[in-house]
Structure 1
Amino acid sequence: MARDPEPPDPEAVYERVGREVAARADRLWEVSLALHSAPETAFEEREAARLLSGELEREGFRVERGVAGLPTAFTGRTGTGGGPCVALLLEYDALPLLGHACGHNLIAGAGLGAALAVRGALGGEVPGSLLAVGTPAEERGGGKAVEVEAGLFDGVDAALMFHPGVYDWVHAPLTASARVRVAFHGRAAHPTGNPTEGIDALGALIQLFNTLGVVERRFPSGSHVQGIITDGGRATNIVPEYAEGAFGLRGATTAALEELVEELHRCAAGVARATGTRVEVTRDGARYEHFRDNEVLSGRFARHLERAGIRLSEPVPGVYLGSSDIGNVSTRVPAIHPFVAIMGPDASDHTPEFAGAAAGPRGREVMLAAASALACTAVDVLLRPDVPGDAWACLRAKAEAGL
């Protein structure tokens, strides 16, 4: 009777991963620079999706485009099936006016490099499943949130990505966030001819801003509201009958975010009663859930990254660095989202300087190091039988603790 072949030795595969990434380094950087030089914003990433999915297809991945009903989303799959499933996540949307000032071109390059390196290091015989997932619209729109709801991550045992930043942190302290629109309806009138007939919708909206400014003093750490006026009337000699504001809300946890949304509803309703207006409060786009780091997987990524001389530390307590739709993935499957610095801590992303760094030598160095570390972490999930179970146990423990 023929015996099943022995599984590959992970330590030997790590070495092959390094060689695979090195062999592809120039091409991965060309892809990253191509994305950087032609930035595309949320749900408009047609050329980016074409380029990245084409690279996967040429190297033997089974590519499906337009997944989850999103024209610029895709998956590339390889493997024997019937075992662990690892998803490597590629972001590639850019910021309006600032281009790749969040470094998504490096995320895409690293995820692509990791996927190709794992397949190459295992000779095309990937045990289980290896999935490269194109995730559009992280900056606005929440492509991953849509993919989660569409079931794209069902059956995935590990979702892996990294993010360039200004800190070397083993995981990202990412808050939950939502966008809400508040519209007040009043009654138009001439401010001197018949002022008593008017109901000032803009005045109501301004009062809402003032009310939130008072109640925010009791918001818990990590929670805040930031708003802008998107419609304040049409003429100075007409009492505005309609006014609208857009509000961004963040909470340290998804539960804290929902409490904040309810607070906004209560404040808006109170203002409407006090001013005689009618108010509408509506969600605008997908909710981003808070990120749950999986220490089993992020610890392995950090150890692999040390081979490149980059050491990650724990985040500074109480410091939050925004929100991301990776949070929606991390509450369903074990996930990582480490930060690796391409600039110093005195700098910031979402700036022209950071966009420049994302096309500079440090950006290339970090992208390639992250590709190798992501690939080796994927190998751990695929080849070390204890890793998927430990990762799932970690996620379940956090969920049960409400973390």
Structure 2
Amino acid sequence: MSSLYQRVREEVARRAEALWAVASALHADPETAFAEHRAVALLTGELERAGFEVRRGTAGLPTAFTARAGRGRPVVAFPLEYDALPGLGHACGHNLIAAAGLGAALVTDAVLGGAGGTVLAVGTPAEEGGGGKALEVEAGVFDGVDAALMFHPGVYDWARATLTAQEQYLVAFRGRAAHPTGNPTEGIDALAALIELFNVVSALGRRLPEGSHVQGIVTHGGTATNIVPEFAEGRFGLRALTTAALDDLAERLRTAAEGVALATGTTVTVERAGVRYEHFRDSTVLSERFAGHLDRAGITLTPPAPGVYLGSSDIGNVSGRVPAIHPFVAVMGADGSDHTPEFARAAASERARRVLPAVVEALACTAVDVLGDENLRGRAWEGLRRTAA
């Protein structure tokens, strides 16, 4: 196996400049969720030139794709993210995620030459809210995959992700319009009902379990100050440590909204808005293998700090069906944060340039391990079964 690792290192070194050029091109030309057409053209072009069989429009999504080399089981998938944030560009470093997944797929295939299974690069649009991976999971894109391997640039060197479950709901109250002074008793104030729901949610928040959180905004509060609002709507973002806890939190929101409607004489609807992101289930055995490979490049990963959560991602939906890893590797200091202009600059920095080949090598070595070690695959699947129990 050590000779395979050496070949991986050589392939990474040979491709390092080209992969950085891809990361830089994506960074310079950011595209937002479900509009990543130029990113897809760049990435699929690289894969096709390497002999991968590319299929576009995966899961009915115009900016999704799969690229396959080799055949049969086992199958290792590299999810590629490439959407940017509106107004901030690649402030979450998806240009690096895409380049790393691309590089790992190319290197793994070059080293193994199609022997011993399948290398699958999966283009996953709209991680920033659109849920491309979640939609692909539902469409069966990850069926038959034995491991999903990716990394995320960040401000910490952490072996595993602390990604919570999240979803959003639209809560709409309907009352009856009236003139606030002419015939105030005829009105039923939908906005007052929505404001009362915010008060209830605030009280609820003080007794939620660790990792659970509700944040709301008013999306519609009326049309004029001299009309009692007959319609009011709020959007509520819910997060929880686990998908089961998220379901419980959503039910609490629904119960609160129905109680407020009963008390105020309004009617209410509570509807999920968008795709639900499940919590991330780390494949410990594969994360440890990745961390060991990355350590050879001088980057040491540690467990995440207790009580620190790094948002949510649709890789959680993948991790509930396939053994998956999503380590964080720092491209700026721990005093920084992603989703900031500073992080966008870090995603094209010299530090990021050094991190990229190290991550590609660790991902490719982990993929080689998965494809070549039936026992490792068995332990990864057993770990997933335990987390799902």
Q: Give the TM-score normalised by structure 1.
A: 0.95
Given candidates 335, 343, 346, the residue that maps to 1:346 is 335
1:268 to 257, 262, 283: 257
Q: Which residue of 2 aligns with 1:250?
A: 239
2:287 is aligned with 1:298: yes
Deviation at 1:126, TM superposition (A): 3.3
**1:250, 1:257 within 8 Å by CA — same for their partners in 2?**
yes
Distance in 1, matches of 2:234 and 2:326, equals 32
CA distance in 2, matches of 1:180, 1:194: 33
What amino acid is the match of 1:231? H
TM-align CA RMSD: 0.8
Give the letter for the 2:340 counterpart.
T
1:154 aligns with 2:153: no
Equivalent residue in structure 2 for 1:66, among 57, 65, 70: 57
CA separation in 2, counterparts of 1:218 and 1:32? 44
- Deviations 1:76-105, CA, capped at 9 Å, x for gaps: 001132x31100110001111111100000
1:99 aligns with 2:93: no
Secondary structure of the corresponding residue to residue 359 of structure 2: helix
SS in 2 for 1:218: coil
Corresponding residue to 1:118 among 69, 93, 108: 108
Answer yes or no: is 1:108 the counterpart of 2:95: no
Name the SS of the counterpart of 1:308 in structure 2. Answer: coil
Instruction: Quote the Cα distance in structure 1 between the aligned partners of 2:34 and 2:86.
Output: 12
Aligned to 1:3: none
In structure 1, the partner of 2:122 is: 133
Aligned partner of residue 301 in structure 2, secondary structure: coil
1:23 corresponds to 2:14: yes
Letter in 1 for 2:21: E
Is 1:326 aligned with 2:315?
Answer: yes
- TM-score, normalising length: structure 2: 0.99
Q: Give the match's secondary structure for 2:101.
A: helix
Deviations 1:212-240 (CA, angstroms, capped at 9, x unpaired):
10111110000000111111111111111
Cα distance between partner residues in 2 of 1:368 and 1:225: 39
1:385 Cα deviation after fit: 2.3
Q: Which amino acid aligns with 2:33?
A: A
| Residue from 175, 196, 207 that aligns with 1:218 | 207
**1:277-316 paired onto structure 2 within 5 Å:** 277-316=266-305
**Which SS does the other structure have where 1:315 is aligned?**
coil
Is structure 2 residue 227 aligned with structure 1 residue 238?
A: yes
8 Å Cα contact 1:78-1:126 kept in structure 2: no
Residues 376-401 of structure 1 show CA distances to partners (whole Å, capped at 9, x for unaligned) of 0000011122111111011112212x
Counterpart in the other structure of 2:153: 164
Q: Secondary structure at the match of 2:362?
A: helix
Q: Distance in 2 between matches of 1:315 and 1:55?
A: 34
Structure 1 residue 125, shift from structure 2 partner: 2.6
SS of 2:276 mapped into structure 1: coil
DSSP 3-state at the match of 2:206: helix
Q: Does the alignment pair 1:85 with 2:62? A: no
Task: Spell out structure 1 runs of 4+ moving beyond 2 A.
Answer: none
Q: Tell me, yes or no, if the aligned pair for 1:56 and 1:116 is still in contact at 8 Å.
A: yes
**What does the per-residue CA deviation read over 1:278-337, in whole Å, with 9 as the maximum and x for residues that have no partner?**
101000111100000001100000000011100000011121110000000001010000
| C-alpha separation in 1, matches of 2:194 and 2:27 | 40
1:14 aligned partner: 5
Structure 2 equivalent of residue 375 of structure 1: 364
